[in-house]
Amino acid sequence: MKVVFDPAQKGHYPRHFLVNGVVEENPEVPERADRLFVAATGAGLEHLVPADRGLGPIAAVHTPEYITFLSTIHERWLRIKGGSDEVVPGIHPDRRNGAYPASAVAQAGYHMADGACPIAVGSWPAIRRSADTAVEAALMVRDGGAKSVYALSRPPGHHAFADMAGGFCYVNNSGVAAQVLRGVHDRVAILDVDVHHGNGTQSMFYGRADILTVSIHADPVRFYPFFWGHADERGEGAGLGYNYNLPLPRGTDDRAYMPALGDAFSRIRAFAPGALVVALGLDAFRDDPQGGFAITTEGFGRIGEAIGKLGLPTVLVQEGGYLCDGLGPNLGSFLTGFRSSHGS
């Protein structure tokens, strides 16, 4: 099994973000990638640097306006007299079906859902490489080069909508991977095990029946992303019944988590996908700074083992999981459990 990663992804390093009205140090730091990479190679995964896959796979799930915004906004933002060094929105539209603004300030508000997705000088090249990482992993699985691959995508992606960033996410790497897999498979499932609901992923495929989205996460009634991730969100139009949310109480531990995982598997099996994308958040850990769930390091091993037993061609795409002593061991535990049952 391989880990796909390019150290150039560490070039994305906004120093601050806005939370609860306070400017704090950004927890989505390059050191996350270092610890995860050490854990992946320590678990026996072989390192592969992704090729430059161009904008095509990104453009397959994101709008041209949004891609233009991401690729140009920082340079334009620096022209604002007295502006900050990093792009952070200060105004948001009350609707998204009106005229498209020309102002960099207005476009930031239009394309950024919150203050937790700042854009810095090296962000866009790193975001591109993070997407390339997911594409490379998906191509290997899609074309039969591997039964499973771990994409160490950083920055993460599951809060990114087709035309909007949010929650440390810019390009939806899991969505990109799923679309690549659709090049061969009629049906692809995405299973999101991050402690936060994958609202961008849900939105991206909400009207589609070819990609099933399933998310197990902390109940959003009092937890980010708040407005998405509730159990009654089932999809719309052709996609009705193809989105499945399993919100769980804060503090959910290993024992309470596994039945929900079983429910997720039942839905995935009924969908009969040809391949699986796992949006692999590790922030459900009991000591993660996000403080949502109480999953143990051993619990991640059991989760990985259970997912592996599905036996599907699988792309593991890194999502959340923040700096704490358990970050690397949690990934190592998951990968060991997954490989033990998946045979890869």
Q: Please list the active-site residues.
A: 159
How far is Cα 317 from Cα 334, in angstroms, rounded to an integer? 13
Residue 79 CA neighbour count, 13 Å, CB half: 7
3-class state of residue 218 by DSSP: strand
The whole-angstrom separation of Cα 238 and Cα 119 is: 35
Q: Which tokens is 234 given?
A: 């089932």
152: which residues sit within 8 A by CB, 6+ positions away?
Answer: 3, 4, 5, 9, 33, 36, 37, 40, 133, 318
* Placement of tokens 């599905």 in the chain: 310
**Tokens 């061991």 appear where?**
329
Residue found by looking up tokens 């039942």 in the block? 266
C-alpha to C-alpha distance for 304 and 45, rounded to whole angstroms: 15
3-state secondary structure of 223: coil
Distances (CA, A) of 85 to 80, 81, 91, 128: 10, 11, 17, 21
Which among 283, 222, 231, 282 is positioned nearest to 260, based on CA atoms?
Answer: 231
Instruction: Answer whether 229's CB lies under 8 Å from 199's CB.
Output: yes
- Asked whether the beta carbons of 216 and 252 are under 8 A apart, the reply is no
